[in-house]
């Protein structure tokens, strides 16, 4: 975040907690650039040691000051950059497929983005390796705290530790367990997200093709029906002979001589 020197002065001497609630120390110094914006913050740890961090790792909400670990910022940056690179590669493939860009331009862009993607994958691998080492250290801390908590309960059961001391120590150890477990779970979730980045980005869905209008077939011999007169079925003429008058014929007389 951008922090002005005027605002930063108000937080001198304020305690600094990490994002899991651990008390890291207090702010004892500020460095600013020519724009009078804070660039570095000096923190005194509880052990008396000092460490300097960029202002981008400091989160201010009201009167509280939180320290964000660098690995969390790196993971967010890698995720955004990889997602964008993968989407662009998919878009290039689609543009080439539909003939929107020439092949030589496609090859140039693809080579550039594949090179960028390869570098991002290397950064991801290095970050994941570091996070796995951190998880191993946190597992050791959790085991150590669990051992001390079990020992404390045993000593309380045998009467070696009074009730008030037992409650105070149990609360401190349990708080440490909760914070350590929260960081471990956060890191493990981040590792999973980083490893699945190649699967989270899917190729863009091409737009649907426009539907073609289907015209009904035109009849070859249209029949026109008049509105004024009802249609008549075609008449079938049969060849019927006209009735002829039968004229009487004279009888034929045959004479037989004896």
Give the CATH superfamily of 5-68: PRC-barrel domain (2.30.30.240)
- In degrees and rounded to multiples of 5, residue 6 shows phi and psi of -60, -45
Are the beta carbons of 92 and 109 closer than 8 angstroms?
Answer: yes
* pLDDT attached to residue 232: 47
Q: Structural domain boundaries of the chain?
A: 5-68, 71-200
* pLDDT attached to residue 81: 96
* pLDDT attached to residue 214: 54
* pLDDT attached to residue 244: 43
* pLDDT attached to residue 252: 44
Q: What is the pTM of this model?
A: 0.72
Residue 52: name the closest of 71, 38, 63 by CA: 38
* pLDDT attached to residue 175: 95
* pLDDT attached to residue 3: 84
* Bridge-based pairing state of the strands 23-32 and 64-67: unpaired
- Residue 119: in which H helix or E strand, if any? helix 103-157
Are the beta carbons of 177 and 145 closer than 8 angstroms?
Answer: yes
Mean pLDDT of successive 10-residue stretches along the chain, which has 258 residues: 84 94 94 92 93 92 93 96 94 94 95 96 97 98 96 94 94 96 97 90 56 57 50 44 45 43
């Amino acid at each position: 975040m951008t922090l002005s020197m005027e605002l930063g002065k108000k937080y001198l001497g304020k305690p600094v907690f990490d994002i899991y609630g651990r008390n890291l120390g207090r702010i004892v110094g500020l460095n600013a650039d020519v724009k009078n914006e804070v660039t570095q913050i000096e923190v005194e740890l509880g052990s008396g040691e000092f460490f300097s961090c960029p202002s981008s790792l400091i989160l201010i909400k009201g009167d509280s000051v939180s320290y964000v670990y660098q690995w969390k910022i790196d993971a967010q940056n890698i995720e955004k950059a990889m997602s964008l690179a993968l989407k662009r590669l998919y878009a290039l493939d689609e543009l080439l497929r539909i003939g929107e860009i020439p092949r030589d331009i496609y090859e140039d862009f693809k080579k550039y983005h594949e090179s960028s993607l390869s570098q991002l994958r290397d950064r991801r691998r290095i970050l994941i390796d570091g996070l796995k080492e951190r998880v191993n250290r946190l597992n050791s801390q959790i085991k150590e705290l669990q051992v001390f908590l079990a020992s404390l309960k045993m000593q309380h059961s045998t009467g070696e530790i009074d009730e008030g001391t037992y409650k105070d120590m149990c609360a401190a150890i349990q708080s440490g367990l909760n914070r350590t477990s929260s960081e471990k779970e956060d890191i493990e979730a981040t590792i999973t997200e980083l490893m699945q980045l190649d699967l989270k980005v899917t190729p863009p869905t091409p737009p649907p093709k426009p539907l073609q209008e289907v015209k009904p077939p035109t009849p070859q011999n249209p029949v026109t029906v008049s509105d004024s007169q009802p249609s008549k079925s075609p008449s079938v003429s049969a060849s019927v002979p006209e009735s002829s008058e039968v004229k009487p014929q004279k009888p034929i007389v045959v004479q037989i001589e004896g």
